[in-house]
Amino acid sequence: MARVLFRLRNVGPLSCNSHATAACQIVSSAGFEKQRRMSIPSVLVRLTYERVLATLTPKGCKTMTDARVPYNGLKSIGAVLAGILVVVLLSLGTDIVMHSTGIFPPWFQPMSTALWLLATAYRIVHGIAGGYITARLAPDRPIRHAVILGMIGLVMSIAGAAGTINKGPEFGPKWYPLGLVVTALPCAWLGGKLFVSKLQSRAQEA
């Protein structure tokens, strides 16, 4: 208050508009000074918070969000690996059942086109199931994880096609490994899409 009176005394003779302007400047200056003094506790609180946060943050991480990245990364890897296991185990298990029940001939024996179509059909279903499981276990961005699974399946299918496409009729017709290459990525994506659609339908019902 004393500072305000001192500034008013130093204003000198002014017009009405000048007096009003000078008064506004003085009040604004006084308000800024009050705001600055009131902000000191908040600054101290923020500094204390940042110091505690820096203490709790593990070494090598700039923020606590960065500290969670390795954990989410492990969950992402686990989700993709789970999808791969689902596809491999389901496909191998179905093959064993088909051979043991006599639907398929003994291992590494030529099969008819209809049986190869059947094998392709249930592998497509297994690819969709693997994409669904990967999306279900993913920590975030489920479709992206399913697409990563599909890309891995695509690479594995290409490798399998390169190794078996000209190895004889016991490894199937040429279209069979090429069909697995073409369907690997879309099936995984479709599985992730089905999971997201299921989540969205549940959210709408709630």
10-residue averages of pLDDT along the chain (206 residues): 44 44 46 50 52 47 47 89 97 96 92 95 97 95 96 95 86 92 97 94 82
Reference 80, options 149, 126, 157; nearest CA is 149
Residue 205 placed within a domain: no
CA distance 61 to 36: 33
Contacts of 8 (CB under 8 A, 6+ apart): 22, 23, 26
| Calpha distance 22→112 (Å, rounded) | 99
Separation CA 67–CA 19 (nearest Å): 58
Q: Within this chain, do residues 92 and 191 fall inside the same structural domain, yes or no?
A: yes
One domain, residues 104 and 48: no
CA-wise closest residue to 119 among 175, 202, 192: 175
79 and 142 in one domain?
Answer: yes
> Within a domain: residue 145?
yes
**Structural domain count, the chain:** 2
**179, two tokens:** 């069909």
| Nearest Cα to Cα of residue 189 among 130, 138, 140 | 130
- Residues 145 and 43 placed together within one structural domain of the fold: no
Show the domain range for 48. 2-56
